[in-house]
């Protein structure tokens, strides 16, 4: 199989995402750890929320202007999801 840490595989098995921050953004809830306890595993409580990349977007820091912003979650709290940069 994939040579990912066990906690990461556990997270992905529940359709979770690994976030750098200690707390999960809404509507996610903390569900263990990822990357050998370096990151937080967050699972979606509504399950209709997608990560930015799932929707073909790009996560950009707040300093960059989006031509077209879109729905989607980025691993860094302040970053935006852009369809076009």
| b (16+ CB within 10 A) / e for 21-45 | eeebeeebeebebbeeeebbbbbbe
Given the candidates 2.60.40, 1.10.3470, 3.30.70, 2.20.20, the CATH classification of the domain at 50-84 is 2.20.20
CA distance 13 to 72: 20
- Domain assignments of the chain as residue spans, ordered by start: 1-49, 50-84
Q: Which CATH class is domain 1-49?
A: alpha beta
- Model confidence at 1: pLDDT above 60: no
- Span 48-68, pLDDT tens digits: 667 787 778 898 888 999 999
Whether residue 56 contacts residue 83, with contact meaning beta carbons closer than 8 Å, is answered with yes
| pLDDT value at residue 14 | 78
DSSP reduced 3-state for 68: strand
pLDDT band (50, 70, 90) for residue 18? very high
pTM of the model: 0.55
């Amino acid at each position: 199989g994939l040579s990912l840490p066990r906690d990461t595989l556990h997270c992905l098995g529940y359709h979770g995402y690994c976030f750098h921050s200690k707390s999960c953004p809404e509507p996610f809830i903390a569900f263990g750890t990822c990357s050998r306890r370096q990151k937080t595993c967050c699972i979606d409580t509504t399950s209709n929320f997608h990560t930015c990349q799932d929707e073909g977007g790009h996560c950009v820091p707040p300093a960059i202007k989006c031509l077209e912003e879109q729905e989607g979650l980025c691993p860094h709290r302040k970053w935006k999801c852009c369809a076009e940069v």
